[in-house]
A and B are shown apart, each in its own frame.
Chain A
């Protein structure tokens, strides 16, 4: 256990600097979304624009965007916006890729693995570092919303509604982080692991979006992990057990692959 703590401190030392601007950026972004949601002209403009649109066009639109015309919805859009997703993706890709494949590629893994440390400890430390980093970002996002709504309350909108959204945001990217950990355990260079993880993530995002706007693709939408992250539905209906279970199961499966691969491979 102590070697996991030592490795965890090592990961914190390597990743703490980038984490600060990412968390600050996300917090400011979600605060700005509460500011936008308070402007009556913004939601009025969006509502009238959508009323003017033909129904065929509306059916092509992302449901998150359609729901986002209310003040509550606009704040929710902040959690599905590509900027927020990108901030989370940086940690979900960077930390696991650097922790295993990155150390192997730089040969520094030789220095660590030549010491009395179980290989499982390397995977466990990378996992904890990644989950903690994502938690800091999710908390920062929620703090942005909380502070924004505390400073300028919006009628009928409670900050508590966004706590489960922040949780689901964390869970979704924790799942991607586990996929990244599996890629990292199988690759020899950080670049390879980053390419695989971000490629899968981008492909999954595009698939989800395409399946929403183009009916023939709808049956394959469950194959995308982003299908199980729908902030607007969480804001209105709370966490969906099915979505949470799928994300947790995929994350656990990827984690098993990471442990099995790293324990057996040549370093």
Chain B
């Protein structure tokens, strides 16, 4: 059977708890082999979405199809899914080894990737022999990543995957994601860390108060943002003549800062060329700018 080209499909997905709406009318598709970022502030509905995709919650409206199966109809598809919860829970008395063995046996698949993951995340045999209650937050997170990915899942649902990891381990995690994608796996990554999403993901969705605000490629979201233009002049100029190119955010006799849509850039540069320009700086917008613009 051919693999579904969209490992995740949600249509009109919603979840209500009494009068509280946690998620409303979410429709999106995530393609095979894609790294998809899911951004939003606390309480935006990111974790609710992941738990709906896994069938841990029953949707109030709509439906989710994961790896070609309706999530509420069967469970076999979950064998090909790796899941890392946002707050990594563990059985405190079990050792790391027992935890990994238990969760791998429940997955029903061989933990072929375990040894490689343990090596890359620097978890040693001695660490695995200790009860998880003695682990630091970072070690628990590493163990969480290993349990999610040890059975080489086709789809990884990762909620705040680098929480508590030091920069070296974050880099190791990014390398792991790159390798997974090289082997055709799909990664759905929920995060607060915009730089991480920008670095790892091809496409991004942004949620606010349970509603999808925007979805697109990282490049298109960046391009949709206005450029910050900072110009200094050798002589006093009338900056009001530049106001129609965009929003003036700061100005003086010999200094102006503007937010300018990309389409207006050629005309602005041409106009600035006619003025006694001393210095010109055009800042490329980041995903963070796009994020902040959405949530202001």
Chain A residues proximal to chain B, CB less than 8 Å: 2-3, 6-7, 10, 13-14, 106-108, 110-118, 264, 266-267
Is B178 an interface residue when CB atoms closer than 8 A count as contact?
no
> CA separation between A10 and B94, bound complex, in Å?
10
- Chain B residues with CB under 8 A of A113: 54-56
Q: Which 3 A-B pairs have the closest CB atoms?
A: A107-B89, A114-B83, A115-B106
* B94 touching A264, Cβ below 8 Å: no
Is B75 an interface residue when CB atoms closer than 8 A count as contact?
yes
* B106 touching A112, Cβ below 8 Å: yes
B112 to chain A, nearest CB (A): 16
- Chain A residues with CB under 8 A of B79: 115-116
Residue B56 contacts which of A10, A110, A116, A264 (CB distance < 8 angstroms)?
A110
A256 to chain B, nearest CB (A): 20
Chain B residues proximal to chain A, CB less than 8 Å: 51, 54-58, 75-79, 81, 83, 85, 87, 89-91, 93-94, 98, 102-103, 105-108, 147
Determine the main DSSP class of A at the interface with B: helix
If A112-B106, A264-B58, A266-B56 touch, whether A13 touches B98 (CB-CB below 8 Å) is yes
* B91 touching A116, Cβ below 8 Å: no
- Chain A residues with CB under 8 A of B54: 110, 113-114
* A3 touching B108, Cβ below 8 Å: yes
* A116 touching B89, Cβ below 8 Å: no
10 more CB-based (< 8 A) A-B contacts, given A113-B55, A114-B81, A117-B78: A3-B108, A10-B102, A108-B89, A110-B56, A111-B147, A115-B78, A116-B77, A266-B58, A267-B51, A267-B57
A-B contact pairs, 25 of them (CB 8 A): A2-B108, A3-B106, A6-B105, A6-B106, A14-B91, A106-B89, A106-B91, A107-B85, A107-B89, A108-B90, A108-B91, A110-B51, A110-B54, A110-B56, A110-B89, A111-B83, A112-B103, A114-B83, A115-B103, A115-B108, A116-B108, A118-B75, A266-B57, A267-B51, A267-B56
A13 to chain B, nearest CB (A): 7
> CA separation between A107 and B75, bound complex, in Å?
19
- Chain B residues with CB under 8 A of A14: 91, 93
- Chain B residues with CB under 8 A of A3: 106, 108
> CA separation between A220 and B65, bound complex, in Å?
52
If A110-B83, A110-B89, A111-B147 touch, whether A116 touches B102 (CB-CB below 8 Å) is no
* B103 touching A116, Cβ below 8 Å: no
- Chain B residues with CB under 8 A of A114: 54, 56, 78, 81, 83
> CA separation between A7 and B103, bound complex, in Å?
10
- Chain A residues with CB under 8 A of B55: 113
> CA separation between A108 and B98, bound complex, in Å?
14
> CA separation between A108 and B85, bound complex, in Å?
10
> CA separation between A3 and B108, bound complex, in Å?
8
A158 to chain B, nearest CB (A): 43
- Chain A residues with CB under 8 A of B107: 115-116
